[in-house]
Amino acid sequence: MSCTDRKVIRCRAAVAWEAGKPLVIEEVEVAPPQAMEVRLKVLYTALCHTDVYFWEAKGQTPVFPRIFGHEAAGIVESVGEGVTELKPGDHVLPVFTGECKECRHCKSEESNMCDLLRINTDRGVMLNDGKSRFSINGKPIYHFVGTSTFSEYTVVHVGCLAKINPAAPLDKVCILSCGVSTGLGATLNVAKPPKGSTVAIFGLGAVGLSAAEGARIAGASRIIGVDLNPKRFHQAKMFGVTEFVNPKDYDKPVQEVIAEMTDGGVDRSVECTGNINAMISAFECVHDGWGVAVLVGVPNKDDAFKSHPMNFLNERTLKGTFFGNYKPRTDLPSVVEMYLKKELELEKFITHEVTLSEINKAFDYMLNGESIRCIIRMD
């Protein structure tokens, strides 16, 4: 369907009417895509901790009613004016951040932080006209990070869609839209552990396990998982983790424990918790001379990172990353190909599957710590 076919689509969506309350399956109207927008049929989506965090709205600007969801895979239904790279029938991954291909960040080989389409969690409308494409009886329902995939149809800026190989199973590659790519890229693109190196992963949730998967793919000889929850240790073995450290088991800082285990420190570390003390430990546990620590977790706004300057002068490197340094449109298709070539294993991340009408079960699984990723089928 082209931009000239201006039809509203009525479909089901899981609407969050207010913070922390169960989502409600409603019939919503989805307006046609405007200039540089694409309307897609969502086939599979997944629940990420970020959805839960903003649904709870305990420390952010509440924007309700809203349709959450940002890890997904679907098929292009129609395109708006000016869209030339996608056509109806194309398989795509919607992404919470984008790539306009025109700004300084997009033209830089070193950055993926697009000026136009960088994540904005407070904005609930489309960039083109400042309006929502969702409504119920004329009342607007707000978007979430430009994706809103807890709906059978959604409208997304073309710069936030990665066109992928149609041979890829959408119920698997949908999880590449956020957490898996974030952790995987933090290791492969930023930490870059040499084959045979030692790597410490702080936090063994979905992003941390993805970082461990990256270390496994890179050929690390030792992957040390650090987490306060011992229940996560057995599961992490599937992702290549070889040793486990629970900071609560020691009466000394965990960076000292790791340094003793590794003859002075690990070659690389990846921090995936957002806890400021874990960030400091992740930096201070890398070996002097060549050690690199990568921060992935998002800290509280008032946190301050404190470490003695000598840790830097002794040639330890501290880096940060956003979405694993992947450019969504340019790089995600190659990550999908890694899966198709069986270099990257995705099935082990998927612990549960529900239908859209059962979406609140997915929230329960995550809140109870039972799931890594729960897939939500739209049928």
Residue-wise pLDDT tens digits, 344-373: 999 999 999 999 999 999 999 999 989 999
Residue 95 has pLDDT above 80, yes or no: yes
Catalytic residue, from 100, 174, 272, 285: name it.
Answer: 100
Average pLDDT over residues 303-328: 97
- Which residues lie across from 26 on neighbouring strands? 13
Q: Does residue 350 lie in a domain region? A: yes
Residue 3, CA distances (Å) to 33, 34, 83 in order: 7, 8, 9
Catalytic residue, from 3, 103, 242, 377: name it.
Answer: 103
Residue 3 has pLDDT above 70, yes or no: no
Question: Left if phi > 0, otherwise alpha if psi is -120 to 50, otherwise beta: which for 12?
Answer: beta
Q: Specify the pLDDT at position 1.
A: 44
Q: Specify the pLDDT at position 98.
A: 97
Please report which confidence band the pLDDT of residue 4 belongs to, taking 50, 70 and 90 as the band edges: very low
Can you read off the two tokens belonging to residue 115?
Answer: 């000026």
Interstrand relation of 198-202 and 268-271 (parallel, antiparallel or unpaired): parallel
Residue 171 has pLDDT above 70, yes or no: yes
The answer to whether 160 is a known catalytic residue is no
Residue 151, CA distances (Å) to 2, 117, 176, 229, 260 in order: 21, 21, 18, 34, 50
Residues 162 and 193 in one domain: no
Average pLDDT over residues 288-315: 95
Domain with residue 303: its CATH number is: 3.40.50.720
Residue 300, CA distances (Å) to 24, 123, 297 in order: 30, 20, 10
Residue 217, CA distances (Å) to 95, 211, 342, 345 in order: 24, 10, 11, 10
Q: Does residue 327 lie in a domain region? A: no
Residues 173 and 187 in one domain: no
Catalytic residue, from 50, 154, 182, 187: name it.
Answer: 50
Q: Does residue 2 lie in a domain region? A: no
Catalytic residue, from 37, 39, 45, 48: name it.
Answer: 48
Helices (H), 20-118: 49-56, 104-107
- At position 38, the amino acid (one-letter code) is V
- Cβ–Cβ < 8 Å for 297, 321: no
Q: Does residue 341 lie in a domain region? A: no
Residues 243 and 372 in one domain: no
Catalytic residue, from 37, 71, 271, 284: name it.
Answer: 71
Residues 279 and 221 in one domain: yes
Residues with Cβ within 8 Å of residue 298, at least 6 apart in sequence: 274
Q: Does residue 337 lie in a domain region? A: no
**Using CA atoms, how far apart are residues 35 and 29, in angstroms rounded to an integer?**
19
Q: Does residue 338 lie in a domain region? A: no
Can you read off the two tokens belonging to residue 195?
Answer: 């084959």
Q: Which of 258, 262, 224, 260 is nearest to 244 (CA)?
A: 224
Q: Does residue 339 lie in a domain region? A: no
Q: Which of 159, 36, 145, 155 is nearest to 103 (CA)?
A: 159
Rounded to two decimals, the pTM is: 0.95
The answer to whether 71 is a known catalytic residue is yes
Q: Which of 122, 152, 120, 159 is nearest to 134 (CA)?
A: 152
Q: Which of 44, 43, 37, 41 is nearest to 76 (CA)?
A: 41
Residues 109 and 213 in one domain: no
| Residue 106 lies in domain | 9-177+346-377
The answer to whether 49 is a known catalytic residue is yes
Q: Does residue 163 lie in a domain region? A: yes
Q: Specify the pLDDT at position 281.
A: 98
Residues 142 and 273 in one domain: no
Catalytic residue, from 49, 123, 243, 351: name it.
Answer: 49
Residues 213 and 193 in one domain: yes
**Using CA atoms, how far apart are residues 37 and 119, in angstroms rounded to an integer?**
16
**SS3 (DSSP) at 12:** strand
Backbone torsions φ then ψ of 160, nearest 5 degrees: -105, 20
The answer to whether 143 is a known catalytic residue is no
- At position 284, the amino acid (one-letter code) is E
Residues 144 and 255 in one domain: no
The answer to whether 118 is a known catalytic residue is yes
Average pLDDT over residues 161-172: 98
The answer to whether 216 is a known catalytic residue is no
Buried b (16+ CB within 10 A) or exposed e, 20-32: eeebebbebbbbb
Residues 295 and 372 in one domain: no
Q: What is the dihedral sign for C-alpha 202, 49, 351, 180? A: negative
Residue 62 has pLDDT above 90, yes or no: no
The answer to whether 374 is a known catalytic residue is no
Residues 168 and 186 in one domain: no
The answer to whether 100 is a known catalytic residue is yes
Residues 227 and 276 in one domain: yes
The answer to whether 114 is a known catalytic residue is yes
Residues 52 and 138 in one domain: yes
The answer to whether 11 is a known catalytic residue is no
Catalytic residue, from 178, 272, 285, 374: name it.
Answer: 178
Q: Which of 238, 211, 231, 206 is nearest to 48 (CA)?
A: 206
Please report which confidence band the pLDDT of residue 5 belongs to, taking 50, 70 and 90 as the band edges: low
- Cβ–Cβ < 8 Å for 147, 96: yes
* Omega before 65 within 30 of 0, i.e. cis: yes
Q: Specify the pLDDT at position 2.
A: 43
Domain with residue 15: its CATH number is: 3.90.180.10
pLDDT over 70 percentage in the chain: 98
Catalytic residue, from 39, 45, 66, 70: name it.
Answer: 70
Question: Total domain count for the chain?
Answer: 2
